[in-house]
Amino acid sequence: MGRLNGCAYIHGDPKADPIAWCGRPALAGKPYCAEHWDMTHIPLLSLDELTEIQRMRAIAKAAFIPAGLE
């Protein structure tokens, strides 16, 4: 199976001729099959998750007091 028929994930050397594509059925609207999508996709964080990360960073920053200044 070739790239146009499924997953666009390249196996092995991308400079090889011919290129070895995965070829398994791609997810709807995605270039990769489920396995390769999970390997290559970094999910976006929600606003709530970003807010929590910022809150945790502020707490960590406030808790750090350099030696000699306590």
Q: What is the pLDDT at residue 52?
A: 93
Residues with Cβ within 8 Å of 45's Cβ and at least 6 positions away in sequence, in order, are: 53
Q: How far is CA 44 from the centre of its chain?
A: 9
Angle formed at CA 10 by CA 7 and CA 12, multiple of 5 degrees: 145
Mean pLDDT of 34-63: 89
Q: What is the pLDDT at residue 42?
A: 84
In single-letter form, the type of residue at position 41 comes to: H
Q: What is the pLDDT at residue 36?
A: 95
